[in-house]
């Protein structure tokens, strides 16, 4: 919407955003560029080559990394979906159910995963899980991820929900919507940005986790972080750069696709 002075614009915000993106992307550009390096070492440029991409698919470590990448994506998607759903329900309770017994306690509980140091979560979970005989590999990872993703999904979602007045839901219920319908048909659409934010945070936090995963995972089960962990600190290997670049590629394809789908969906309306 054009106006004499656009009240939405602040001088410098664009510059900050762009700086921000430069800082975020500069290291990744290094990764992407060096993934095409013919040499084994990151320090010297040995010419352009696709060796490392070939290596990702056919090299000796290929099956391990492929499985790890698939595991990571599956777990991240499942954990983010589950955590977002759980967090949304919790946010509704915290912002839309008035006062109830144990509300403050619930608030603390939801944020507990955030507050416990990662290594403590890791050790405690492992001790606890093995004590109760819960050691099935992927599932243990998933459960642990869901747990620590909840606050990351909850905080943006509840922040958003607080700023939506409940008159919309009241209007919906007045028009014979059950509370569930008022939720799905009115609150949820208004919540979209919050839920998207929560989902994305949960997703990337799950995709990134090393420590907890490493402790609770079953023997031989790998996620991308556990698969690449030690070797990275020594200086990233070109094949890992290639994998990372591929992950970036996948994410970009994924985002572009969802954008295109969203656009065609909108055009139809």
Partner 1 sequence: EGKLSIYHWFEYIPQELLDKFSEEYDVEVTMDTFDSNEALLASLKAGKLGSYDVAVPGDYMVEIMNGEGMLDTFEPSELSNFGNIEDKWLDVSFDQGRKSSIPYQWGSTSFSVNKDVYGGELDSLSLIFDPPAELKGKINVLDTAGETLTLASLYLGIPQCSSDREQLKELNALVQSAKADWASFGSDVAKDVLVSGDAAAGMIWSGFSAKARGEGANIEYVFPKEGMIVWMDNVVLLKDAPNRDNALKFMNFLLEPENAAAVTNYAQYTAGVKGVGEFLLPEVANSPESNPPADQKGEFVQACPEEVQVLYDAIWTNLKK
Partner 2 sequence: MAAGAPMGAGTSSHIYEGNAPRLMAPSWIFIGFFLLAPVIMMAVYSFLTKEFRGGVIWEFSLAAYDQFFFDRGLFGDEPPSIEWTYIGIFWRSIWQAGLATFVCLLIGFPTAWFIATRDPQSRSIWLFLVTIPYWVNLLIRTVSMKFLIRDTGPLNEFLLQVGVIGEPLGLINTNFAVQLGLFYSYLPFMVLPIYAAVERYDFALSEAAADLYSGAWTTLRLIILPVVKPGIIAGCILVFVPSLGAFLAPDLLGGAKTFMIGSLIEEQFKGNAGNWPFGAAASMILLTIVLCILLVYARNQNKTEIR
Partner 3 sequence: MASQDIAVSVDQVVKHYGNFTALHGVSLDIRESEFFTLLGPSGCGKTTLLRAIAGFESVSEGHILLKGEDLTGLPPHQRPVNTVFQQYALFPHMTVLENVMFGLLRKGWSKVEAVRRGQDVLDLVQLAEFAKRKPTQLSGGQQQRVALARALAPRPEVLLLDEPLSALDLKLRQSVRSELKALQRETGIAFIFVTHDQEEALTMSDRIAVMSNGRVQQIGSPKEIYEAPVNRFVADFVGETNLLDVEIASIDGGTASVVLPGGTPFTCPAATVLDPGRGHLSARPERIRITAPGDAHLDAVVTGHTYLGTDIQLQVRLSDGEVMSVRLQNSETTSVPEVGQTIGLQLEEGAARLLAD
Using CB under 8 A, list all residues that contact partner 1. 40-41, 43-44, 60-61, 64, 123, 126-127, 129-131, 135, 214-215, 217-222, 226, 229-231, 233-235
User: Three-state SS for 14?
Assistant: helix
Indicate whether 184 belongs to the interface with partner 3 (CB under 8 A): no
Q: Which is nearer to partner 1, 114 or 232 (CB)?
A: 232
Which entry of partner 2, partner 3, partner 1, none binds 185, CB below 5 to 8 A by partner kind?
Answer: partner 3
Q: Would you say 87 and 156 are in contact if contact means Cβ atoms under 8 Å apart?
A: no
How many residues does the structure list for the chain?
Answer: 269
Q: Would you say 56 and 246 are in contact if contact means Cβ atoms under 8 Å apart?
A: yes
Q: How many CB atoms lie within 10 A of CB 149?
A: 29
Among 168, 200, 246, 248, binds partner 3 (CB under 8 A): 168
Q: Which is nearer to partner 1, 84 or 125 (CB)?
A: 125
Which residues on adjacent β-strands are paired with residue 37? 48
Q: Restricting to residues 6-25, name those near partner 2 by CB under 8 A.
A: 7-14, 16-17, 19-21, 23-25
Which entry of partner 3, partner 2, partner 1, none binds 156, CB below 5 to 8 A by partner kind?
Answer: partner 2
DSSP assignments along 112-142, one per residue: HHHHS-HHHHHHHHHHHHHHTT---THHHHH
Which entry of partner 1, partner 2, partner 3, none binds 2, CB below 5 to 8 A by partner kind?
Answer: partner 3
Q: Restricting to residues 212-231, name those near partner 2 by CB under 8 A.
A: 224-225, 228-229
Q: How far is CA 237 from CA 3, 204, 222, 244, 259, in A?
A: 52, 22, 18, 11, 33
Report the distance separating Cα 269 and Cα 266, nearest Å. Answer: 5
Which one of 11-19, 172-180, 222-230, 244-252 is the stretch in contact with partner 3 (CB under 8 A)? 172-180
Which entry of partner 3, partner 1, partner 2, none binds 61, CB below 5 to 8 A by partner kind?
Answer: partner 1
Residue 246: HSE in the Cβ half-sphere, 13 Å Cα cutoff: 19
Which residues on adjacent β-strands are paired with residue 48? 37
Indicate whether 80 belongs to the interface with partner 2 (CB under 8 A): no
Which entry of partner 1, partner 3, partner 2, none binds 96, CB below 5 to 8 A by partner kind?
Answer: partner 2
């Amino acid at each position: 919407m054009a106006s004499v002075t656009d009240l939405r614009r602040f001088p410098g915000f664009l510059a900050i955003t762009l700086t921000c993106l430069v800082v975020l992307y500069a290291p990744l550009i290094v990764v992407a560029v060096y993934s095409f390096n013919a040499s084994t070492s990151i320090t010297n440029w040995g010419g352009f080559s696709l060796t490392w991409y070939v290596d990702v698919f056919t090299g000796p470590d290929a099956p391990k990394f492929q499985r790890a990448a698939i595991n990571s994506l599956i777990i991240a998607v499942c954990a983010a979906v589950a955590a977002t759903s759980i967090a949304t329900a919790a946010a509704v309770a915290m912002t839309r159910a008035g006062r109830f017994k144990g509300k403050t306690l619930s608030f603390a509980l939801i944020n507990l995963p955030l507050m416990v140091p990662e290594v403590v979560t890791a050790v405690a979970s492992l001790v606890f899980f093995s004590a109760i005989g819960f050691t099935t590999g992927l599932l243990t990872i998933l459960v642990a991820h869901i747990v620590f993703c909840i606050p990351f999904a909850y905080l943006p979602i509840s922040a958003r929900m607080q700023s939506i007045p409940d008159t919309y839901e009241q209007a919906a219920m007045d028009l014979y919507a059950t509370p569930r319908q008022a939720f799905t048909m009115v609150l949820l659409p208004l919540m979209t940005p919050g839920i998207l934010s929560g989902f994305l945070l949960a997703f990337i936090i799950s995709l990134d986790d090393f420590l907890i995963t490493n402790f609770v995972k079953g023997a031989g089960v790998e996620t991308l972080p556990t698969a690449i962990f030690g070797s990275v600190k020594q200086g990233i290997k070109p094949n890992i750069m290639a994998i990372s670049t591929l992950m970036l590629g996948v994410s970009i394809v994924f985002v572009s696709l969802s954008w295109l789908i969203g656009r065609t969906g909108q055009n139809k309306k």
